[in-house]
């Protein structure tokens, strides 16, 4: 992706400055970010994923739909490198999930029901902490905060005092600061009011148009469906449909 196309980038930014772009040198097909084929994953003795096949291209926002217990969260955790692949073939950003599960983790961000923030630290301190764990510069950290709308007045506010929507944005700023290229979001709209949901949708749309690849598991089909470029039904541990909705980013 050319940095000049990135609405977040400053005029002097290069592709290497863009935290959404990152290094994909391990990937033989640069635009193919997620490729799962007949993947089986087991929780205890229960096959939580029973032959999932799905491919996701760079910049897509894919909605994972399905009833409770269908395997949406398990699929996200597998893509984050937190669960082993029992059978099948799976690559994320060119890393083999079977043999390189640990190596995938620094490149993905998983945002579940919790935000992964330190409540006694300020917004700035949180984003700085997560950014510096990957060696992000002060410029990158400031950029991440600015892009997620948590710079300025909010920057020095303690996270404990933030609204649910502001915490979500802070958490996303942390993902940007630590250069996550694949965003795995589990019910991201939960607990947000209408304004917070609008803010989040705008943020995700901008991130995707800048090259981030986003998987969203959600029950709120109207809201998340409007955001997604494509949706996938997950039922009984299998991805059974893969439909284009031709919305959102290109």
Partner 1 sequence: MITVARLIAAKDLRVERRSKIVTNQVLPFAGITMVSFAFALDKQNVLDTVAPGLVWLATMFSLLVIVQRTFAIETDDGALDAMRVAGVDPRAIFVGKAMALGFQLLVLEAMLFGAAVIFYGESIPSNNAFGSVVLLVTTMLSATCGLAAVGTLYGGLAAGFKGSETLLPLLTLPAVAPVLIGATKAVESAVGTSGAVVSEGWQWVGLLTLFAVAAVVGGALAFGPLIDD
Binding site for partner 1 (CB under 8 A): 80-83, 102-106, 108-110, 112-121, 125, 129-130, 132-134, 158-159, 174, 178
Q: What is the closest distance, in whole angstroms, from the C-beta atom of residue 136 to partner 1 in the complex?
A: 12
- Give the residue carrying structure tokens 């917070």: 196
Given the complex with partner 1, which of 80 and 204 has the nearer CB atom?
80
User: Closer CB to partner 1, residue 18 or residue 186?
Assistant: 186
Smallest distance from the beta carbon of 160 to partner 1, in angstroms? Answer: 9
Which pair of structure tokens corresponds to residue 137?
């510069």
Q: How far apart are CA 97 and CA 88, in angstroms?
A: 10
Residue number, 116 or 226, with CB nearest to partner 1: 116
State the Cα–Cα distance between residues 229 and 139, nearest whole angstrom.
31
Kindly tell me which of 131 and 211 has the beta carbon lying closer to partner 1: 131
Query: What is the smallest separation between the CB atom of 59 and partner 1, expressed in angstroms?
Result: 22
Residue closer to partner 1, measured from CB, 59 or 131: 131
CA angle 20, 199, 110 (to 5 degrees): 45
Sheet strands (E) in 58-157 = 61-65, 87-92, 95-96, 108-111
- Which residues, including other chains, have CB under 8 Å from residue 98's CB and lie 6 or more apart? 84, 85, 89, 90
Smallest distance, partner 1 to C-beta of residue 113, A:
8
| CA 76/CA 11 separation, integer angstroms | 35
């Amino acid at each position: 992706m050319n940095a000049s196309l990135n609405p977040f980038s400053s005029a002097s930014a290069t592709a290497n400055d863009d935290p959404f772009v990152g290094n994909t040198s391990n990937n033989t097909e640069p635009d193919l970010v997620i490729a799962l084929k007949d993947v089986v994953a087991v929780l205890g003795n229960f096959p939580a994923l029973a032959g999932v096949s799905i491919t996701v291209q760079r910049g897509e926002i894919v909605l994972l739909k399905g009833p409770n217990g269908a395997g949406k969260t398990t699929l996200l955790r597998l893509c984050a490198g937190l669960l082993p692949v029992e059978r099948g073939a799976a690559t994320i950003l060119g890393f083999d999930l079977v043999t390189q599960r640990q190596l995938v983790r620094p490149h993905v961000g998983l945002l579940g029901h919790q935000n992964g923030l330190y409540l006694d630290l300020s917004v700035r301190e949180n984003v700085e902490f997560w950014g510096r764990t990957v060696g992000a510069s002060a410029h990158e950290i400031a950029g991440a905060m600015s892009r997620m709308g948590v710079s300025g007045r909010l920057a020095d506010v303690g996270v404990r005092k933030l609204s649910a929507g502001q915490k979500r944005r802070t958490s996303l700023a942390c993902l940007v600061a630590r250069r996550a290229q694949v965003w795995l979001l589990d019910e991201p709209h939960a607990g947000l009011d209408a304004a917070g949901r609008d803010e989040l949708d705008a943020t995700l749309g901008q991130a995707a148009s800048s090259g981030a690849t986003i998987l969203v598991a959600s029950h709120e089909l109207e809201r998340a469906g409007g955001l997604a470029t494509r949706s996938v039904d997950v039922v009984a541990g299998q991805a059974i449909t893969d439909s284009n909705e031709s919305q959102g980013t290109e």
